[in-house]
Amino acid sequence: MKFSKKGLIIAVATALTIGTASVGAYAAGAIPGTKAAAFSSSKISAAQAVDYAVAKIPGRAIEVDFRHKNGQSYYKVEIVADDQKQEVFVDAANGHIIESRPDYDKKPLQPLPNTNISLKQAIAAAEAKTGGRAKDADLSYKKGPSVYKVETVNNIQKYEVRVDANSGQVLSSHIDL
């Protein structure tokens, strides 16, 4: 088979375009079987996971993270109760508690700030702003004013939203690249 220089250049350019698009789709989580596909098919929301976790261990939820490992999807919810961090793992398919345990962090727990807005309220504000579904959220209070950082997903587009922990106002919202 004989290729002209022009034909060879077109073939290489096409292969590079297809390869780049495939890598981009994979990075965006658009390939079935990835964490993104597992998240979009999960039946339990981040806010529901917080409810289930707090029902198990009464306290203040400060973080929720969606995880997908070894074919299982779940939320890890961090709760502060009696000045101790607790981790509660909630099945993303049915809301059942998989496990709960103390979180023995190497750093001592800093006192939590008094806030007017709960983690669930911050999630609701972020979801309303982006039209997406919350995947991860946490209370950031160690540097500067207390804010909730919430990651939402709308189709395959990720957004990072910052919500004031006292007023509930959305401070910023941008596409997470």
DSSP output for 119-157: HHHHHHHHHHHHSSEEEEEEEE-SSSS-EEEEEEEETTE
Per-residue pLDDT band at 133 (split at 50, 70, 90): very high
d(CA 121, CA 113): 16
- Do both 92 and 47 map to the same domain? yes
- Do both 116 and 136 map to the same domain? yes
What per-residue confidence (pLDDT) applies to 24?
Answer: 46
Work out the average pLDDT over 114-134. Answer: 97
Angle between helices 46-56 and 119-130 (to 10 degrees): 170
- Do both 54 and 128 map to the same domain? yes
- Do both 9 and 65 map to the same domain? no
- Do both 23 and 53 map to the same domain? no
Could you tell me which residue, 82 or 36, shows the higher pLDDT? Answer: 82
pLDDT tens digits along 68-81: 999 999 999 999 99
- Do both 18 and 90 map to the same domain? no
- Do both 129 and 77 map to the same domain? yes
- Do both 9 and 95 map to the same domain? no
- Do both 22 and 77 map to the same domain? no
On whether the pTM is more than 0.95, the answer is no
> Which residue range forms the structural domain that includes residue 23?
5-31
pLDDT tens digits along 29-60: 443 458 888 898 899 999 999 999 999 999 99
- Do both 88 and 27 map to the same domain? no
- Do both 118 and 46 map to the same domain? yes
For residue 163, the domain's CATH number is 3.10.450.40
